[in-house]
Structure 1
Amino acid sequence: MKRTVLPLLLLLAAACGPRYGMRVPDKLVAKLPYETRIELLESENDLALAIDKVDEAGNEILRARESLRRAKSREQAAEDEEKRAPDAASREVAKLAIDEARARVEYLRAKQRLNVALRDVEELATRCAFARFELARLQAARKAKVEGSEKLDPKKYEAQVSGCEAEEKAERGGLAADTAQEKTAREAWEVKKAALAKKTFDARASPYVENL
């Protein structure tokens, strides 16, 4: 087993607790012949990929948080610009900039709700990958007739996998509402952004419009 995954197994086991955290004793796996250990690589890699997805989901939350901070700052700047506008044309542009900034903030809030929900699902998916990996370890130990493996019930490990996967499927299905809200908010922002760009030289590179 890769040394990089070993600490993660312990961390996941602690995080899962009794919920999808049933493990095969390491002392049984340590007795596996090399050829059998190789057979575990696929499920081990799946676990590593699941962990990477959780990390990426967390990074996306951080990126959206920073974008939201900038968007709020732009909203305040647009409001200040409206107060300083010397004429009607300038005030009109400032008002469009305020509308665009507010729509951007609403979109980013919707996006962040989706990001958080997705991270939660990916964390659950990691527990499912962990459960599949433990099932693979048990199957390998029983196949190699490792002493003590006969005392572990494969059905319990299979039930752990099926239970987790059913919960993951349900939670992914629950992302639909957040996804729809994010899409609606983005479309509303795109409309405001286009209106501002059109008023300021009708250019995608308008100095008043910042793309995400």
Structure 2
Amino acid sequence: MKRFVLLTLPLLSACGPSYNLRVPDSLEKKLPYEARIELLEAENNLALAIDKVDEADNEIGRARDHIRRARSRQEAAEDEVDRASDEVSREVAKLAIAEAEARVEYLRARQRLSVGLRDVERLALRCAFAEFELARLHAARKAKVEGSERLDQQEFEEQVSECKAEVKEERASLAGDEKEEKTAREAWEAKKAALAKKTFDARASPYVENL
């Protein structure tokens, strides 16, 4: 269990000082084996929360790469306009530019949302850590570990409930970003469909690239 705590502490320190109430490690060391087993669920939840933060970070990285590629496609499409030898080719190139521009706008909106979701997952990680500490306190008190009676269980419970309430509030605050992301995606999908239709509606068209 200590392995996950050590992995988590650097992540938590980047999120500010909130929800850092802890059970002294000296109390956990006194827990009998049976009591330690009861902490597995809280430990697993903590590990899952860490994985979600990692995945959120990876999503931001993927969005950054997608934006770079979309900009390259936009530049290539702009070059095609000048090289177009007939009106049809010129029209296809212009549609490709519009699709690329819409793609970039969508990916930027998606990245903004991903950053917000990453921040929520970081906060949720703090909640998982708080729940882990509450589980440690419950285990110590159940095993009647000396010193556990001096810790205020209500403070640990309030730490969990306050953290979860903040997560709920932060998730709700992303409604605007979610709406912008959806609108931008729909606009891009429309531009992509128009480009695909002009290039014989072929899904494998070199002009149309899915994410």
TM-score normalized by the length of structure 2: 0.96
**Residue 116, structure 1, aligned to residue 122, structure 2:** no
Equivalent residue number for residue 76 of structure 1 = 75
Q: Which runs of 5+ in 2 are unaligned?
A: none
User: Aligned partners of 2:48, 2:189: CA distance in 1, in Å?
Assistant: 34
1:113-192 matched pairs, under 5 angstroms: 113-192=112-191
- Structure 1: which 5+ residue stretches go unaligned? none
Question: Number of matched residues?
Answer: 211
> What letter corresponds to residue 93 of structure 1 in structure 2?
V
RMSD over aligned Cα atoms = 1.3
The alignment's TM-score, normalised by the length of structure 1, stands at 0.96
Distance 1:23 1:108, change over 3 A: same
How many angstroms does 1:11 deviate by?
Answer: 2.8
- Give per-residue Cα distances to partners, 1:99-151, cap 9 Å, x unaligned: 00000000000100110000000000000000010011011111111111111
1:44 CA displacement: 0.6
Q: Percent same amino acid at aligned positions?
A: 73
Kept after mapping to 1: 8 A contact 2:30/2:145: yes
**1:101 equivalent in structure 2:** 100
Give the match for residue 57 of structure 2.
58
Deviation at 1:204, TM superposition (A): 1.4
How many Å separate the matches in 1 of 2:194 and 2:143? Answer: 68
TM-superposed CA distance for 1:16, in Å, is 5.3
Contact 1:13 1:23 (8 Å CA) reproduced: no
Kept in 1, the 8 Å contact 2:71–2:104? The answer is yes
Kindly tell me: are residues 10 and 90 of structure 1, through their superposed partners in 2, closer, same or farther at Cα, counting changes over 3 Å? closer
Matches of 2:12 and 2:122 in 1, distance apart? Answer: 13
The alpha-carbon distance between structure 1 residues 171 and 36, as it changes in their structure 2 partners (threshold 3 A), is same
Shift of 1:10: 3.5
User: Secondary structure in 2 aligned to 1:4?
Assistant: helix
2: distance between equivalents of 1:164 and 1:80? 52
Closer/same/farther in 2, CA of residues 13 and 109 from structure 1, 3 Å limit: closer
Conservation of the 8 A alpha-carbon contact between 2:59 and 2:114: yes
Look up the match of 1:92.
91
